[in-house]
């Protein structure tokens, strides 16, 4: 069933202009914001599958996965149910998996710990940069902040360093953020800073009208563009439904657009 992929990909403008060969546009930062009521994990899984799809030139496309939230076995189990074998992709070097679950930056050298992490990411990008379309996935940035003992400034500096890879190597970066944990206080400046860096913002939220039997929530996509030299945002809103058991996208209901 191709309809769900087409709707989401259209909203994200992931298209190379050929109707039979859709691929991500390089050099973009995609921010996935979710909340407790509506997890955005299914969006992340959908994007990983699409970036590793055989339809995306298999010889020159890789995913560099920096995982703070779950072990490799978790993602592999879910993606297998979606028809994507992460273990095989890792074996053939299309997936580079960085297990960061135990990362803890020392109190007296948080900056040094993040510089070392960025150095490892940059090295992996450089090694694979020849004729490669590289996607860097960070799941999730909230836990990186925990690993740095709440040093928001250092995490933002780390993300700015990562952002340089979009221009230097044409990398696409996907960031997952749990927005609701920053819903009050000065901490809300952190998601605002990430939104500023992002070219595409995907928000999963509960339905404004409340619960529904056949719809799990609302997906809002803000795709920033350039118009006459000025930065503008064009949003698309879709109500979505997905298989909770498999945590994978089932299909999207088209909703209101703005």
Q: Of all residues in the chain, what percent are helix, strand and coil, respectively (each to 5)?
A: 35, 30, 35
**CA distances (Å), origin 126, targets 106, 122, 170, 172:** 27, 6, 11, 14
Residue 61's SS3 state is strand
Alpha-helical segments (H) within 38-173: 41-51, 72-81, 86-91, 110-127, 141-147, 152-168
Give percent of the chain with pLDDT exceeding 70.
69
Interatomic CA distance for residues 180 and 201, integer angstroms = 15
Say if residues 124 and 91 touch (Cβ distance below 8 Å): no
CATH code given to domain 27-257:
3.40.50.300
Residues 91-117: pLDDT tens digits?
Answer: 999 999 999 999 888 888 899 999 999
Q: Where are the domains of the chain?
A: 27-257
pLDDT, mean of residues 182-188: 64
pLDDT in tens, 39-73: 888 889 888 988 887 765 445 789 999 999 999 99
Is residue 45 a contact partner of residue 191, using CB atoms and an 8 Å limit?
no
Percent of the chain whose predicted confidence (pLDDT) is above 90: 37
104 Cβ contact list (under 8 Å, min separation 6): 147
Distances (CA, A) of 114 to 61, 105, 121, 208, 211: 26, 8, 11, 39, 41
Contact 69, 143 (CB under 8 A): yes
pLDDT value at residue 229: 41
Residue 81 has pLDDT above 50, yes or no: yes
User: What is the pLDDT averaged over residues 220-228?
Assistant: 65
Each residue's pLDDT tens digit, 3-21: 344 456 666 666 544 444 4
Per residue in 117-141, pLDDT (tens digit) is 999 999 999 999 886 789 999 998 9
Q: Which of 126-130, 159-163, 178-182, 225-229 has the lowest mean pLDDT?
A: 225-229
3-class DSSP assignment, residue 159: helix
DSSP 8-state code for residue 162: H
> What count of residues does the chain have?
258
This prediction's pTM: 0.82
59 CB-near residues (< 8 Å, 6+ apart) = 131
What residues are paired with 97 via a beta bridge? 65
Q: Please, which pLDDT band fits residue 227 given cuts at 50, 70 and 90?
A: very low
Q: How many CA atoms lie within 13 A of 151 on its CB side?
A: 19
Measured over the CA atoms of residue 52, residue 174, residue 139 and residue 178, the dihedral's sign is negative
Q: Which residue has the higher pLDDT, 28 or 232?
A: 28
State the chain's mean pLDDT as an integer: 78
Gap between the Cα atoms of 200 and 12, Å rounded: 7
> Which of the residue ranges 16-25, 31-40, 47-56, 209-218 would you say has the lowest mean pLDDT?
16-25
């Amino acid at each position: 069933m191709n309809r769900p992929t087409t709707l989401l990909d259209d909203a994200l403008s992931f298209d190379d202009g050929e109707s039979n060969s859709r691929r991500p546009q390089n050099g973009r930062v995609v921010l996935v914001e979710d909340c407790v009521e509506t997890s955005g994990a299914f969006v992340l899984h959908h994007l990983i599958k699409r970036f590793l799809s055989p339809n995306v030139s298999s010889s020159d496309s890789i995913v560099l996965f920096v995982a703070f939230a779950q072990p490799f076995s978790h993602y592999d189990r879910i993606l297998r149910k979606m028809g994507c074998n992460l273990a095989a992709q890792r074996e053939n070097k299309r997936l580079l998996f960085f297990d960061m679950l135990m990362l803890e930056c020392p109190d007296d050298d948080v900056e040094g710990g993040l510089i070392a992490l960025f150095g490892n990411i940059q090295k992996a990008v450089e090694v694979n940069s020849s004729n490669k379309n590289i996607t860097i996935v960070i799941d999730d940035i909230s836990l990186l902040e925990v690993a740095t003992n709440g040093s928001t400034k250092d995490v933002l500096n780390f993300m700015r360093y990562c952002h340089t890879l979009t221009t230097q190597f044409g990398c696409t970066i996907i960031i997952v953020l749990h927005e609701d944990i920053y819903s009050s206080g000065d901490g809300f400046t952190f998601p605002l800073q990430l939104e500023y860096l992002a070219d595409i913002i995907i928000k999963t939220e509960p339905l404004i009208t409340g619960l529904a039997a056949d719809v799990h929530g609302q997906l809002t996509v803000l795709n920033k563009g350039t118009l006459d030299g000025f930065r503008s945002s064009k949003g698309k809103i879709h109500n979505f439904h997905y298989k909770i058991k498999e945590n994978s996208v089932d299909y999207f209901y088209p909703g209101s657009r703005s």
